[in-house]
Amino acid sequence: MGLFNQLNSELAEKQQASSINLGEIAIAVALDYLAFSLPELNWKEEYPPIQAWHAGVTARESFQQTAFV
């Protein structure tokens, strides 16, 4: 899975910043959608650095207030 490998290498080094950009929002939302619609991809278990980054981003208050329920 080339895209996941690319994200894994880029996000593994990324520190959580006080601000977030549109690209990071799009990635986080896309990962949420994949976890919902294609759970067989199992990206959270296969790519721990992506999962850690995603957990940090989605813990933000702005994500919590607009979470898909």
pLDDT digits (tens, 9 = 90+) for 5-63: 888 888 777 766 678 899 999 999 999 999 999 999 999 999 999 999 999 999 999 88
Q: Which two tokens stand for residue 14?
A: 């990324």
In a domain, 18, yes or no: no
In total, how many domains does the chain have? 1
**What is the residue type of 60?**
R
Give the tokens for residue 9. 């290498």
Give the CA-trace dihedral at 50, 11, 31, 68, to 10 degrees.
90
pTM given for the model: 0.82
Q: 22-37 and 48-58 are packed helices; what angle lies between their axes, rounded to 10 degrees?
A: 110
Range of the domain at 51: 2-12+23-65
Burial class (CB in 10 A: 0-12, 13-18, 19+), 24: middle
- 56 within a domain of the structure (yes/no): yes
Q: What is the pLDDT of residue 17?
A: 65
